[in-house]
Amino acid sequence: MLPAMLVAAIGLAGCPGREPAASSAASAMENATSNRATGPFRVRGNEIVGANNKQFVEYGFVTYCLAHLSETGCTPTSSGGADPDLARIRAAGTFWHATADRIQAAQEDLFDKAPYDSGYLARLDAEVAEANSLGMVAIVTLQEEPFKTAGPPLPTASAARFWQFMADHYKNSPMVMFDLYNEPHLKAYHGSDWLWNIWRNGGTVDEPGPPAIHDTFVGMQTVANDIRAAGADNVIIAEGNQTDHDLSGIPRYALTGANIAYGMESGLRPGLDDTPARWAADWGNLSASVPIMMQAWKGWPGSNDCNTNAPAPAPSYRRR
């Protein structure tokens, strides 16, 4: 997912002339979040519910600087010495009345010093604390997309190490959730079942491509097990294949354990995945049995996924 996406049940599609008014969108969010759920959270059927037994409904933003430290606008010197993400989190909580903030993090930056980079962790802690202080859930997301580090398409041993650390660090934080891996994107070299088995259980892939892949993946189940072994009961979010657009394999390859939800980004590419029938097949039908966390939906001006109808049918389908 590219930076600064809106996630979950609201979004601002970027097609020229079709953006909803910011004031009306913020007002709608204020009304929808006035009686929000609070942690600790648990999965109950196809819902995530809080300690007050209220359903958690995810409305919010992504803050991305901790996974893109060198990007313009992400260095503290570019914002008077403060972490630029903090201002974005405050805006999400105070103007947009968001219920969640997805904080992207990179294991390369956490472990660039031995045993870990305390300054980087302090910056992450500050963002989590800021979100929580405004009543938002902080969703820590491991970001390894190719545009960041040419990272692998599925979790490897480095991801397992990251989550073992994070699970121990945030296991007593009831307003933190764990998004295991942003946009899994391994190609289905040997078919859908092969791909979903690697997604869940891991394995070694040695393919000449294109694209060439020579790596060993640990599997989402192993990462989830590691988190629970650390004593963390936080809600775990496992994103689907095809860069988080496809959850169709979950009925056969669901993760075992408590407090598991699934993340996905709804497609809006005209003619490809922008219809209710396609949404139903990819993830909508599944929402009757497991919690689905809407990670993002988007429409970029001038891009091939800019859908002028996005402001109406997409949110309507998500509210069903």
Q: Of 299 and 178, which is predicted with more confidence?
A: 178
Contacts of 254 (CB under 8 A, 6+ apart): 260, 290
In the chain, the percentage of residues whose pLDDT exceeds 90 is 59
Beta carbons of 278 and 267 less than 8 angstroms apart = yes
Beta carbons of 116 and 162 less than 8 angstroms apart = no
Q: Of 217 and 18, which is predicted with more confidence?
A: 217
pLDDT at 211: 84
- Please state the rounded mean pLDDT for residues 41-62: 93
Per-residue confidence band for 118, with pLDDT thresholds at 50, 70 and 90:
very high
Q: Using CA atoms, how far apart are residues 255 and 223, in angstroms rounded to an integer?
A: 10
**To the nearest whole number, what is the mean pLDDT of the chain?**
84
Is the pLDDT score of 103 beyond 50? Answer: yes
How many Cα atoms are found within 13 Å in the side-chain-facing hemisphere of 98?
29
pLDDT at 13: 37
pLDDT at 73: 82
pLDDT at 26: 53
Say what angle helices 220-229 and 157-170 make with each other, to 10 degrees: 30
Give the bridge partners for 42, in sequence order: 49
Beta carbons of 299 and 307 less than 8 angstroms apart = yes
Per-residue confidence band for 14, with pLDDT thresholds at 50, 70 and 90:
very low
Contacts of 112 (CB under 8 A, 6+ apart): 120
Lowest mean pLDDT among 94-103, 155-164, 293-302: 293-302
pLDDT at 252: 96
Q: What is the pTM of this model?
A: 0.88
Instruction: Classify residue 94 as exposed, middle or buried by CB count within 10 Å of its CB (0-12, 13-18, 19+).
Output: exposed
pLDDT in tens, 192-242: 999 999 999 999 999 998 888 999 999 999 999 999 999 999 999 999 998
Contacts of 268 (CB under 8 A, 6+ apart): 13, 274, 297, 298, 299, 305, 306, 307, 310, 314
Q: Which two tokens stand for residue 87?
A: 């201002």
Is the pLDDT score of 273 beyond 90? Answer: no
pLDDT at 15: 46
* Other Cβ atoms within 10 Å of 30 Cβ, number: 12
Q: Using CA atoms, how far apart are residues 34 and 83, in angstroms rounded to an integer?
A: 28
- Please state the rounded mean pLDDT for residues 111-124: 96
Per-residue confidence band for 32, with pLDDT thresholds at 50, 70 and 90:
low
Is the pLDDT score of 176 beyond 90? Answer: yes
Is the pLDDT score of 9 beyond 80? Answer: no
Of 256, 259, 279, residue with least CA distance to 269: 279
Of 148, 128, 131, residue with least CA distance to 1: 148
Lowest mean pLDDT among 63-77, 78-92, 174-188, 290-304: 290-304
